[in-house]
Structure 1
Amino acid sequence: MKRNYKVLLLMVLLAFASCSFTTKSFDDSDKDKMLIHIIKNILKEYHFDPIAIDDEFSADFFADYIETIDPLKRFFYASDYKDFEKYKLTIDDQLKVSDLTFFNVTHERMMKRIQEAKSLYKEVLSQPFDFSKDEVLDTDSEKLSFVNNRKELKERWRLQLKYSTLINYDDIYKEEIQAKEKDSLHVMKTAVEIEKEAREATLKSLDIYFNDNLDDLTREDYFAVYVNAIVDEFDPHTYYLAPRNKEVFDQRMSGKLEGIGAGLQKRMDYIKITYLVSGGPAWRGKELEIDDIILKVKQEDEKEAVSIVGMRIDDAIKLIKGPKGTKVTLTIKKIDGSIKDVVITRDVVELGETYAKSSLVEKNDKKFGVINLPSFYLDFNDYKRLNAAADVKKEIERLKAEGIGGLVLDLRGNGGGSLPAVVDMAGLFIEEGPIVQVRSTGESKEILRDKDKSITWDGPLVILVNEISASASEIMAAAMQDYKRAIIIGSKQTYGKGTVQNVMNLNNVVRNNTLGDLGALALTTQKYYRINGGSVQLEGVKSDVVVPGRFSYIDVGEKDKTNPLPWDEIDAANYKVLDTYYDYNETISKSKERMRNNAQLKLIDENAKWMKSKIDETLVPLNYEVYRATNQKNEEESKRFDAISEYKTNLTFKSHAYERKLFTSDTTDLKEKRERWYESMSKDVYIEEALNVLEDLKMSYAMKKVAHTKR
């Protein structure tokens, strides 16, 4: 919320008005100390639920920070940990006076261990691996303890590098098999030759990782990790943006992405895909999915792929991005554990593809509308230029002109966005009234209302959600559920993010700043509540009709994050459940009965359970025959789920008249993008059920109105 951000910034500026730095020369230590001082005070004064920086904080931070900088326990020794442990209960005291001793000690030791690791991995990779030996690697790093000596550390590196080489070995072996199938005269490489080539590829990846990535990291980069570990103790959505990361953030906000059109996030040592941009190269290719792990990246003009396991995310992105029209091959580890290569042609991705879009759909000679909304976007500087609510209103009007009898609002995968946008959007479906309640620490609640008495759509409404529908999506679904204005179909619960953040430019805090760019801080300043008084924090929004999905058994919600804020509730706002002729209870009962007997959903549920079982398998065989047999078994097992993507409804999707006119002068492949979307929806069992519900709502409306008229 723009107004709240300005008030917060003004308060911060006043609080730090006395901080004036005009001395001409400062070193990194001065800047780091000032950064700690500023952030510590901002967290104390303005975080929604500030925690005490005491011995308990110190112990928790100590464990989390060590886990962050050495998650696979492949750098530090047990003796290092013992040295660090001396500070376990004094970090809080250091932070209070901006003392950097703990950071300096761990940073200097890490620099030393990184240099030692350079010789260690080269030593390991100088000898062939025996892939006929029965060994396993446990990928669950939480089970690991720190090693006692170099011999034990070398063994840990050996197992991890053997696994990396095994993946390369499998790739090369498959290429040889394919080459032989294409050309019977092709002389296949021997196992010895394949092992050597695979090991050299691993060595090259490690050289790049250490020499081009780790060596390129500055003290500022490492200190940003330290600061982020501090603020992460407050909640998972408060985070520090170092100057270099702030530039990336600002570019993200500019309206264009270049590359494959996917959101990436580093979790432990791995780079995961968090979202796909609609219309982007990855989305068009249909092979990448959310939660896929990218193991390696290969450029089209290079023979060997580069491993990005353990790589800094900025450096991984540099490898994945590239000029429009060039190809990149990503080695992906799927959620079921299978590994495959995916070739993507890079392109310029317009964020406009993440805006609202709609479709007409015909079912049993009746017309309905579907609106897909990937986020609640809003341009705070020009409200009229870019506004999700205004765009959705336009789409509703265009669908109404075609004579639709019901509307589906698809918020699956919608991670949220602007509070003003969701308040305005909810107002499209009710006459007027409260939409959401917002509370800041120590202040009375604020009720955000729809004050416009006009209603854009008063007909049957269904909202689709899933486990990663978050924040503003949850506000929208909750408000419509509380008013009994819509039926919510989707996961058992939504994501469960009930907090509001503001991004603060720290350079505006220090007067006459000569310390250089300080970056920015995303700060949790408020919590929002349903109009019935309950919070969606942790609990999310419970669907009226629960259907299984691919995330049903996977830890993806707020409750699975580190240090989430607790659930609570406040007094309900003054609102009235809408009095309509729609029989929601009967309609929900009918939908639940259909869902219980739906073969497609049963198969989706079985697939979700199977994927969870694969995630829980942390032991990886390092014997190639066993590894290959395991992969083949998984591939065979997964074939029974092919029917999920082969499912077909009898629904017909098409564009409304306004969009059809655009096709004649379009230069952005809009028609092709829409046809791809329609094809996807024609296989979507959730859209199919949403339309069944709309039909039932229309029928219940007609019957109750007739009954009322007879009375």
Structure 2
Amino acid sequence: MKKLCALLFVLTSLLNAQDNEKACKTFSRVSEMLQQNHFKPKKVDDSLSVFVFNQVVDGLDDNHVLFTATEFDKLAVHKNQIDDYINKKDCAFFTDFISVYRTALERNKKFIEEISAEKLTYTTTDTMRYSKGAYPYLKEPERIKKYLRKKITLDILEDIAELSKNKDSLTKQLPALFETSKQKITSTYLCRADNLLSPADGFENAVYGKFYNAFCTYFDPHSAYFNYNEKASFVSTISSQNYSLGLYVNQEDDEQMVVEEVVPGGPAFKSEKIEKGDKIIKLTANKQEYIISCASMDAVTNIVNSDSYRDVALTLRKQDGSLYTVTLTKEKMRDDDNAVYSYVLGEGTEKTGYIKIPSFYSGYEDGKRAGMAEDVAAEVKKLKEQKITGLIIDLQYNGGGSMDEAVRMAGMFINFGPISILTDKQMKYNTLRDYNRGMLYDGPMVVLVNGLTASASEFFAGVMQDYNRAVIVGSPTLGKASMQTIMPLDEKEQSDFIKITVDRFYRVNGKSSQYTGIIPDVKLPMLFSDIMPRESKMANALLNDTIDVKLRYSKLPVLPIKNAVSQSEGRIKANASFTAINSLNQRVNVLYNADKKPLPITFSNVFDDVHSTDSLYKDVKDVMDTESTLGVSGTYNALGTDEYVKTVNEYKIKNIKRDPYILEGMKILLDLSAGKDR
């Protein structure tokens, strides 16, 4: 028996060594490709080692409640050595991270199982303490278990508190509610523990991936490592066609996914089983099962979007409570969430065209479907036929996408001339130009942006601003003026990829929006603006600079824009919605920046804490739900049943009426038209 155990140990060690050797080749290849291709490569030195170590350890245990102090110390010996390991192509250190992480997760799972079998109480004397920084690692595993028990009890009480705003009623039902919620919370904890121990791509690969990705983000926040599924999921966000199950789903407050619509002709429709209102309980793909209530959204998104998960088994619950399972094979279908759409705003002779661009997607690989720019051109043509007097291009929440599409679209709205200057790591300048004389639309324009407008959408807004072609309205954009390309680490295998920042783009005046973002001509307050992600807040972001260029280009007169901006600023000061947004932002910032006080874990205290922000978020919801009387006409060409198309149109029109930025954009266009007439 001892010989058998020894043999198994030797075999396991050999397999680990082989895995580490393969991972080391991948790590070295990631390093080589970044050095060769990155716009601003960095030395592989101790600074990189420290950054990668901190990123990986924080990613594995961000709250310092998984590893013991001894386990952390075992990992910390590698903190300044990772650069040396890469240069020497010696990745034996992976074994320590894999072993320590697995041991800690298995211990935590055991603790959760023990706690779930214990008699927990809601009359504790425990207190949960909060800190914006991580606490020191705990020395004894039993202290970790004590923390877990405290956290699970807190989660149970929070789960109960969220059932109602009637504290007295919940207090009376507390004994029964506590036991029901305990089963739900501990089951979720166990499910999450199992998911971490058995990720879809393998435990070791999950750890390796964290190192590869941390290495990439040391160079800049937009360089990244992708496995095949992650790459497919990323590409789906900038495509108007993806492999699909033919379902539209919505995640409800109880973390269940509900079928919102079954797309006619799609895989779900062909099954003749799935109906609107059915709840998705679990997904099974590639022999891996995912319980929706506890699976990470990244895992679910990969299953839904990656073409490597062609066959997916869904377990659903009908509204009568009956369960059933159906296996679907994905088919390539149009993605309505990314598609461009338009409406006509206003009534009478003053009609404003409105085009929403969710992302800068490219055309289909088979060439049968146009890209975003061509879709925009088709919408502009439709709007011109309706005699619009102005055009709003809405890039709010547009995270970018294809730069080729952005260049094509910019050329549609200027006469001709330079659009941007592209630079590579050698600082060689490549001027991007629009060679086609004439404009698809030559009337007044407004471009709407906000803090989540990024990359290609910032690029387009910058061109329109430089040419005085449009009034830019909203809040400062994200500040990403760099370009990335996705490359396979191995041309033959095509299983591992790296997204590398290879170029930066500058505006035609030599300035850059990198780090700072596009500053709107008309600045409007945005809800939660101070806590939104910004390039300037991201670790290792490329800094702003300028280049010395003198490009010749013909700007439109600036006076009409100045006059329209001046009139808009007067309206904004008296606008109730914008005043309310400014007030709400102040309240949110106070809440966000304040140190949270220790919370006694009793139902009364937890209930008060859970509902302490009710009034704030009621006010936020009231502002966001306020509808104007703006006239909106047109129909979005959605896929689905007549009922679904009607629902989609009602939803989109309601969102337009609730958006004060769109209404102000329309008023600015009316001012521009009036100035033009004079």
Which range, TM-score by smaller chain? Answer: 0.7 to 0.9
Whether 1:431 and 2:415 are equivalent positions in the alignment is yes
Between 481-490 and 63-72, the greater mean CA deviation after superposition: 63-72
Please tell me the root mean square deviation across aligned C-alpha atoms, in Å: 3.7
* SS of equivalent residue, structure 2 residue 346: strand
Find 1:693's aligned residue among 668, 671, 674: 668
Residue 87 (1) aligns with residue 71 (2): no
**2:489 pairs with 491, 497, 506, which one?**
506
Change (3 A) 1:243 1:418: closer
Q: Distance in 1 between matches of 2:494 and 2:229?
A: 9
Q: Which stretch of the first structure deviates more once superposed, 610-619 or 311-320?
A: 311-320
Shift of 1:671: 4.4
Q: Distance in 1 between matches of 2:137 and 2:588?
A: 31
Once residues 198 and 210 of structure 2 are traced to their aligned partners in structure 1, the CA distance between those partners, rounded to angstroms, is: 16
Output aligned runs, 1:514-663, within 5 Å: 518-580=495-557, 583-616=560-593, 618-619=596-597, 621=599, 622-655=601-634
Shift of 1:686: 1.0
Matched, 1:35 2:19: no
User: Which residue number in structure 1 is paired with residue 430 of structure 2?
Assistant: 446
Structure 2 Cα separation of the partners of residues 40 and 664 of structure 1: 44
Once residues 132 and 358 of structure 1 are traced to their aligned partners in structure 2, the CA distance between those partners, rounded to angstroms, is 57
Compared CA separation, residues 524 and 135, structure 1 to 2 (3 A): same
Counterpart check, 1:238 vs 2:213: no
Match of 2:478 in 1: 495
**Normalising to structure 2: TM-score of the pair?**
0.81
Q: Post-superposition shift, 1:555?
A: 3.2
Change (3 A) 1:38 1:664: closer
Distance 1:262 1:208, change over 3 A: same
**Match for 1:101 among 70, 92, 97?**
92
SS of the residue corresponding to residue 207 of structure 1 reads helix
SS of 2:401's partner is coil
Q: Is 1:122 paired with 2:113?
A: yes
Q: More displaced, 679-688 or 689-698?
A: 679-688
Counterpart pick for 1:480 among 464, 469, 494: 464
Please give the secondary structure, in 1, of the residue aligned with 2:351.
strand
Instruction: State the secondary structure of the residue aligned to 1:629.
Output: helix
Are residues 1:679 and 2:654 paired?
Answer: yes
Normalised by the length of structure 1, the TM-score is 0.78
Please state if 1:360 is matched with 2:360.
no
Cα distance in structure 1, aligned partners of 2:317 and 2:536: 38
Q: CA deviation at 1:449?
A: 0.8
**1:468 Cα deviation (Å)?**
0.3
- The superposition leaves residues 445-474 of structure 1 with CA deviations (integer Å, 9 ceiling, x where unpaired) of 111111110211111100000100000110
Distance in 2 between the 1:353 and 1:382 partners? 21
Shift of 1:581: 8.2
Matched, 1:372 2:351: no
| Bigger mean CA deviation after superposition, 53-62 or 453-462 | 53-62
After superposing the two structures, state which structure 1 stretch, 570-579 or 110-119, moved more. 570-579
Q: 1:143 aligns with which of 114, 134, 144?
A: 134
SS in 2 for 1:233: helix
- Deviation, 1:574, is 0.9
Give percent identity, aligned residues only.
23
Residues 198-229 of structure 1: CA deviation (Å, up to 9, x unaligned): 22222212222223542344312221122112
Instruction: Report if aligned partners of 1:489, 1:546 keep a CA contact under 8 Å in 2.
Output: yes
Instruction: Give the aligned residue type for 2:96.
Output: V
Contact 1:132 1:625 in 2 (8 A): no
CA shift in 2, pair 1:582/1:517, >3 Å: closer
- Report how far residue 565 of structure 1 moved: 1.6
Q: Check whether the contact 1:447–1:573 (CA below 8 A) recurs between aligned residues.
A: no
1:111-161 Cα deviation digits (max 9, x unpaired): 222222222223334434443446443455633121122233223222322
The 1:442–1:465 alpha-carbon spacing in structure 2 relative to 1, beyond 3 Å, is: same
Assess, with a 3 A threshold, how the Cα gap between structure 1 residues 88 and 608 changes in structure 2: closer, same or farther: same
Separation of aligned partners in 2, 1:563 and 1:301: 40
Contact 1:137-1:159 at 8 Å conserved across structures: yes
The amino acid of 2:477's aligned partner reads T
How many angstroms apart in 1 are the aligned matches of 2:105 and 2:81? 26
Instruction: Provide closer, same or farther for how the CA distance between residues 85 and 639 of structure 1 changes in structure 2, counting only shifts above 3 A.
Output: closer
Q: Is the 8 A contact 2:216 2:223 kept in 1?
A: yes
- How far apart are 1:529 and its partner, in Å? 1.2
Cα 1:235–1:668 shift into 2, 3 Å: farther
Q: Distance in 2 between matches of 1:69 and 1:504?
A: 27
User: Aligned pair in 2 of structure 1 residues 581, 628: CA closer, same or farther (>3 Å)?
Assistant: closer
Q: Could you say if the C-alpha distance between residues 517 and 45 of structure 1 is closer, same or farther in structure 2, counting changes exceeding 3 Å?
A: closer
d(CA) in 2 for partners of 1:445, 1:701: 37
In structure 2, do the counterparts of structure 1 residues 380 and 636 end up closer, same or farther at CA, with 3 Å as the change threshold?
closer
Q: Please tell me whether the aligned partners of residues 209 and 308 of structure 1 are also in contact (alpha carbons under 8 angstroms).
A: no
Question: Which segment is superposed worse, 378-387 or 471-480?
Answer: 378-387
Say whether residues 1:57 and 2:48 are aligned partners. Answer: yes
From 28, 35, 39, the equivalent of 1:48 is 39
Relative to structure 1, the CA distance from residue 280 to residue 92 in structure 2 (aligned partners, 3 Å threshold; closer, same or farther) is farther
Structure 1: gaps (5+ residues): 1-24, 181-187, 264-271, 273-278, 283-297, 330-346, 704-711
2:483–2:503 contact (8 Å) kept in structure 1: yes
Give 3-state SS (helix, strand or coil) of 2:553's partner: coil
Question: Would the aligned equivalents of 2:363 and 2:369 in 1 still touch at CA under 8 Å?
Answer: yes
Amino acid at match of 2:606: Y
Note if contact 1:72-1:141 (Cα within 8 Å) is conserved in structure 2: no
SS in 1 for 2:500: strand
Inter-CA distance 664–97: structure 2 relative to 1 (3 Å threshold): closer
1:629 deviates by 2.2
Structure 1 residues 509-555: Cα deviation after superposition (integer angstroms, max 9, x where no partner): xxxx6xx6641111111111111212211101001111111231213
Preserved contact between residue 420 and residue 505 of structure 2 (Cα < 8 Å): yes
SS in 1 for 2:486: strand
Q: What SS does structure 1 have at the residue aligned with 2:510?
A: coil
Query: CA offsets, 1:577-618, max 9 Å, x none?
Result: 523486111110110111111111111222233334444454
Instruction: Say if 1:103 and 1:226, in contact at 8 Å, map to a contact too.
Output: no
